[in-house]
Structure 1
């Protein structure tokens, strides 16, 4: 104790002398610069004591940094993920960059509002699953992609096949469970006949936080834990050859969209660039408030079955909105109430049952489907109205389309100068989707345009695909069950 008192007394004396010297220097120099000599006193503490104090200081610095990072995560209202067209791969999908695991492993996934399972192609040996199937697509070897190594992620946690999560929360899981400790296996089937098989677990995704902007601030990242992730060791289907897996944006308690939106304002949004845009034309998939939208106005009455002839009401940012129908019969898809379709301002005669889920119809939005697919009565009415106004253009045959045209001018060799009729989809709440003409009379080949719609059986659902959604910003407000949209070029 006496030694410590001597050290304290010495420090007080030195401080007093320092103060006197500083005061005298101030009088003498009158505004000139002052120099102070740094004195190194004989150490009063041992080197181990100094090392301990340094460690304590470093812990304090680290805690301050971690606290600042936590505050940034808590105050951040959104995060964003780069989104781009996959046209350069020859597919009609949109890809999102996704980082999962600790340390993070990067992947390129299909952004799919019709999926409730996020999965990545998985390293077979690392997965070590007895329940995983052994088949794979024959072209997979010719198109090697990145694969997830769960054994290299500190945050990967397999879900056991005997758990309540596997048996009750994952509708795509397999019933087989030979040993309770075995991982939960799945066989996920898609409408186009493609499939993915593997085992499911949870892991953390690395996200780029955005504070009041659509694009994230550089190096402002955080972890989103507890993401349900499929480790796919076998798959089939052409749609998966160009990607590393699927990011589930569907409405489900296990989808990535629901998990992320629940933490960031209950909503997410995306903007799809032109489907033929180059690889570097990037937009964002955003979770949380999107600054491109203002505060939503109240929904209008949906009592009227006929769309209003006047333009739909829009907020200050030009956005329109309609109720989002989250029906158990259409899950994990997002359904909307369609009131009708018009061509060149004329409302077409389509039976109301086509848009009614209770009568075997209904309409959904699907970012994973390229072409818009209409139930037979709607398809025939729409293509008849469009083809009637294109009767003067020479027809050509091209699968899988029913109506294709030679768009090359005989005199100039360039494109024909033909005014295309406006197509509009009328939603409940007087909201109207008026896509650009290139979204429904599409470029199918050099000098050839086709009516880019497909026919679906009736009864059956109609699907608004990603080409009809292109160059629009879409917001899925899960909390308030609203769909908002507005025209946008989608590039930043």
Structure 2
């Protein structure tokens, strides 16, 4: 306790009452710890300069069917070169992409059209999925079952029909799209984009088969994803348009998907892409779609894995995972909230927030303010709240952070930013998201502040659906138990 600045009489009182005052100070300190977190300023950067990969911290809840997953930028990424241009993420560009993505998803929900997705991935390692700016990715393989547990592979064969090692494919994990795809030969540049992994070659796979026109699987694409038929080969064609201007088109096919030694999906339907529009950056091979609609990985594995999957989005310096199926051990404790599905747009997973707590105090907004719900999305970056709720959160956060004022310039739609360069450490108010049913996300500092800014934004209007971004989801295992009609959260899973 500092006393040098106190007046002499007050100093005498403190000395004579030291036993009682120190106890009260301890109580106050404990109360402060319940309301705030003191962290080094460097830890609030998206990727600290001295970051190293710490690997997996906790075993996945379903340890029998999972693959590693990591952020595309950072020391744990297989696609990151650690070069300055790779590690230096432009947050402004990332947030612009985020706005385009979430705006398009709102369009789909309001017009009852197909799905969206792609762009910022989460990288899983047995099914490699990588994200453009901030989301994680995984690796998988299509073809033979000889792939490693760290990538998605497709099986290739020599002309003598002798199996070679499967070809790993790094793909973006996307919970808001339904058609998985990877780039396939022939795939000339610039119709296709550059990727780190070898291109999937259908000619080298003994298990590859194009889906014929008129088949149930082709008809299932409907008007949203169907792109006619090949006039010479009677092969089904697909097309997927994404909200940020990207698109992919090619042949709809099947092959054996190997995500790990324990996750093998025969006759896996996916898009064999021969052309893309826009830049699918980070040199990923395609998209692993996990939406709730027809054709997604979830739909294709529902019988085998109980219509459920989970993931843990890690911080850049840690490794996460993607898991098929629900928890297999009762010791893993999840908190659950009801899952709401829009029957006209089944791709999307919607949940309801009920309250937000900042520095130990619940925001004074009525429950009706959360009525529009929020999309749980692997690709959305920051959480978006109805304007009334966001205004209350912003006011409470700014009040708690008054010592770090004045505010710095806004970054895109993040309007509560600070210059922390003068401070070796920062006292961050605790923030908790409380969902219907009582499930609570207690956020870590890096899930509250993104590169100096409050990592929340307002939706375009009070009636606009919100989003739970991957910044807030990170380090939690998020379980999409579609069969059980609920979403679960397990803290500290990666």
Coarse TM-score class (shorter-chain normalised)? 0.5 to 0.7
Distance 1:191 1:379 in 2: 24
Q: CA–CA distance in 1 between the matches of 2:393 and 2:279?
A: 29
Shift in Å, 1:347: 3.0
Q: Note if 1:268 corresponds to 2:272.
A: no
Residues 101, 154 of structure 1: 8 Å contact kept: yes
Please provide the CA RMSD for this pair: 2.7
Distance 2:143 2:479 in 1: 28
Mapped pair 1:383 → 2:383 = no
CA-to-aligned-CA distance 1:258-313 (integer Å, 9 cap, x gap): 32242023322211211x32xxx33321112434x52xxxxxxxxxxxxxxxxxxx
Q: 1:456 aligns with which of 454, 459, 470?
A: 459
Deviates more, 1:239-248 or 1:180-189: 180-189
In the TM superposition, what is the alpha-carbon distance from 1:415 to its structure 2 partner? 2.4
After superposition, the Cα gap between the structure-2 partners of 1:393 and 1:121, relative to the gap in structure 1 and judged at 3 Å, is same
1:461-481 per-residue CA deviation (whole Å, 9 max, x = no partner) reads 211111110011122212211
C-alpha contact 2:290 2:297 (8 A) present in aligned 1: yes
Query: 1:353-379 CA distances to partner (integer Å, 9 max, x unpaired)?
Result: 5533xxxx2211111222222343333
The offset of 1:318, in angstroms, is 4.1
Corresponding residue of 2:404: 393
Q: How does 1:365-376 map to 2 (within 5 A)?
A: 365-376=376-387
Q: Give, in whole Å, the separation in 2 of the partners of 1:438 and 1:96.
A: 22
Contact 1:336 1:364 in 2 (8 A): yes
Provide structure 1 residue ranges, at least 5 long, that are not aligned to the other structure: 1-75, 127-133, 209-219, 295-315
Q: Secondary structure at the match of 1:196?
A: strand
TM superposition outliers: structure 1 runs of 4+ over 6 Å: none
Equivalences for 1:2-401 in 2 at 5 Å?
A: 78-88=64-74, 89=80, 90=89, 91-102=133-144, 103=155, 104-124=166-186, 136=191, 140-141=193-194, 145-170=197-222, 172-177=224-229, 179=231, 181-208=233-260, 220-221=261-262, 223-274=264-315, 276-277=316-317, 281-291=318-328, 294=330, 317-350=332-365, 352=367, 355-356=370-371, 361-394=372-405, 395-400=407-412, 401=414
Bigger relative contact order (CA 8 A; separation at least 6): 2
Classify 1:171/1:471 alpha carbon distance in 2 versus 1 (closer, same or farther; 3 Å): farther
Secondary structure of the residue that 2:415 maps to in structure 1? strand
Paired residue for 1:40?
A: none
- In the alignment, the residues of structure 1 paired with residue 230 and residue 186 of structure 2 have an alpha-carbon distance, to the nearest angstrom, of 20
Query: Structure 1's 87 and 125: CA in aligned 2 closer, same or farther, altered over 3 A?
Result: closer
Equivalent in the alignment of 1:427: 435
- Cα distance in 1, alignment partners of residues 443 and 473 from structure 2: 7
Pair 1:222–1:471, CA change in 2 (3 A): closer
1:175 and 1:85 map into 2 onto residues whose CA distance is: 33
Q: Which of the numbers 429, 441, 448 marks the counterpart of 1:440?
A: 448
Distance 1:200 1:161 in 2: 10
**Shift in alpha-carbon separation, 1:466–1:242, aligned structure 2, 3 A:** farther
Residue 354 of structure 1 contacts residue 362 of structure 1 at CA under 8 Å; is this kept in 2? no
Please tell me whether the aligned partners of residues 196 and 284 of structure 2 are also in contact (alpha carbons under 8 angstroms).
no
Partners of 1:78 and 1:264 within 8 A in 2: no
Say which SS state the counterpart of residue 172 (structure 2) adopts. Answer: strand
Cα distance change of structure 1 residues 350 and 457 upon mapping to structure 2, 3 Å threshold: farther
Alpha-carbon distance between aligned partners in 2 of 1:203 and 1:170, rounded to the nearest angstrom:
21
* 1:407 counterpart (417, 420, 431): 420
Separation in 2 of the partners of 1:262 and 1:242?
A: 33
Q: Residue 162 and residue 261 in structure 1: after superposition, are their counterparts in 2 closer, same or farther (change >3 A)?
A: closer
Say whether the 8 Å CA contact 1:195–1:237 is kept in structure 2.
Answer: yes
Deviations 1:449-471 (A, max 9, x none): 11112333123221111111001
Distance 2:63 2:448 in 1: 36
TM-superposition CA deviations, 1:304-345 (whole Å, max 9, x none): xxxxxxxxxxxx644211112233244312111222323223
Residues 285 and 175 of structure 1: is their aligned pair in 2 closer, same or farther, counting only changes over 3 Å? closer
> Secondary structure in 2 aligned to 1:383?
helix
Given that 1:77 and 1:265 are in contact with CA atoms closer than 8 Å, whether structure 2 keeps it comes out as: no
Count how many residue pairs are aligned between Structure 1 and Structure 2.
354
Which of the pair has more CA radius of gyration? 1
Using the size of structure 2 for normalisation, the TM-score is 0.65
